[in-house]
Amino acid sequence: METSSIAKQHPESADQDPVRQRIVRAAFSVFMERGYAETNTLEIATRAKVSKRELYALVGNKQEMLAACIRERAQRLGRPEETPLVQDRKSLARVLESFGSRLLREVSDPTVVAVFRLAIAEAERTPKVARALDTIGRETTRAALREILTQARSAGLLEGDSSEMAEQFGGLLWGDLMVSLLLRVADAPNPREIKRRARNATAAFLLLYPRPVKP
């Protein structure tokens, strides 16, 4: 999927267009009900109360609509501009706890879990769904976490490969929660559980990656 070209066609300012937002919401609803392969643009246009011509002009074809649905949810997972700079281990712990809490809250949301279920259900028949979710959605989170850890490494607060450290933190944060959510054998964690998970993951991560010893 050429996600970069999609992003160029629909800059962030366009995402605020109320008609476009209505189309994206309608597309997401139909995708969830029928799956990607069985969804057609006419039904999306009908549900959004727009013409097909307007649908294509504002969002694009079905593949671009799927990308817009995923991107809309992925945008909430990037590192917020107000995140403080990591200057010591204490501030690093605060940033990681905050990032972890927000990630758990957003990704465990039923609508986001539904996107993962859609990608899994369509993985063999329509692999582009899984690729879009990985490229637009999951990579947003990975890049934001790598940025935090790269900054911490540059400040001499820990050492290691940023990608590997990000993967380690993610494993500590989630455990088997996502699998349980996908299987519908667990409910989305409440705020108290989210805070506990983020705090414990951060503590365990900082034990694995102590401050480098100066020679």
Q: Is residue 164 part of a domain?
A: yes
Q: Check whether 1 has a pLDDT greater than 80.
A: no
Span 95-123, pLDDT tens digits: 999 999 999 998 999 888 888 888 888 88
Q: The CATH number of the domain where 54 resides is what?
A: 1.10.10.60
Q: Check whether 202 has a pLDDT greater than 80.
A: yes
pLDDT of res. 75: 64
Q: Check whether 6 has a pLDDT greater than 80.
A: no
With beta carbons less than 8 A apart as the criterion, state whether 152 and 158 touch.
Answer: yes
Angle between helices 162-174 and 89-107 (to 10 degrees): 60
Domain boundary, last residue among 72, 89, 120: 72
- Indicate if 104 and 39 belong to the same structural domain: no
Q: Domain limits at 173?
A: 78-208
Residue 117 CA to residue 212 CA, distance in Å, equals 41
Domain boundary, last residue among 22, 51, 72: 72
Q: What's the pTM?
A: 0.79
**Taking all residues of the chain, what is their mean pLDDT, rounded to a whole number?**
86
pLDDT of res. 66: 85
- Indicate if 64 and 169 belong to the same structural domain: no
